[in-house]
Amino acid sequence: MMWVLGLTGGIGSGKSAASDYFAKLGIVVVDADIVAREVVEPGQPAWQAIREHFGPEVLQADGSLNRAWLRQKVFAEPAERQWLEQQTHPRIRASIIRQLQQAQSPYAILSSPLLFESGQAQLTARTLLIDVPEEVQLQRASARDGNDAEQIRRIMAAQLSRQERRTRADDLVDNSGSLEQLYAQLQGLHERYLSLSVEG
């Protein structure tokens, strides 16, 4: 069985910078966000269900999901978010497991913003949190996505609190400094994960 590291962090924490670094080291990264997009591509069963449930407003002209519309809808109405998660989460999980099993690297990484909330941490041997203070999250996420602060606060409120993530994670990297400082911390952890994956 493949040794799997769970990688997580709140919005704007630099989780993608971390997973890109591991990928450069030759580690297979299965990104739950990418898998989540794949399961709702036009023609997929989840896409069909979403279209039937929300009606034509949920689609763009090209048939793909109107994510901005859908995001607003589900963050405003918890029952709709629950319905959407019931459609997508089991399919996302099945695809993640399949991709992790096919990974050809010393260990594999499951990168997921909702690693703990979604129960995906159960698929991993260890978890690594990329951590920054909440004001840094807000600042970086606004600069990157052009989302307004209110929208980002709502996304943060739907995720576990920073304190809760810090309590649950096995390993923690502080990413409030430079990329070089992030990479230096990750390099040390990578060497540790290599030994752990050999031990099984």
pLDDT in tens, 154-191: 888 878 888 999 999 999 999 999 999 999 999 999 99
User: What is the reported pTM?
Assistant: 0.84
Q: Which residue has the tokens 């994510």?
A: 67
Residues tagged in the binding site annotation:
12-17
> Does the structural domain 4-195 have CATH classification 3.90.950.20?
no
pLDDT over 90 percentage in the chain: 76
53 with 62: CB under 8 angstroms? no
pLDDT over 70 percentage in the chain: 98
Residues tagged in the binding site annotation for ATP:
12-17
More confident residue, 134 or 84: 84
11 with 159: CB under 8 angstroms? yes
pLDDT in tens, 3-62: 999 999 988 899 999 999 999 999 999 999 999 999 999 999 999 999 999 999 999 999
Domain locations in the chain? Answer: 4-195
pLDDT in tens, 72-88: 999 899 999 999 999 99
Identify the band that residue 89 occupies on the pLDDT scale cut at 50, 70 and 90. confident
pLDDT in tens, 27-36: 999 999 999 9
123 with 96: CB under 8 angstroms? yes
Give the integer Cα–Cα distance in Å for 37 and 18. Answer: 20
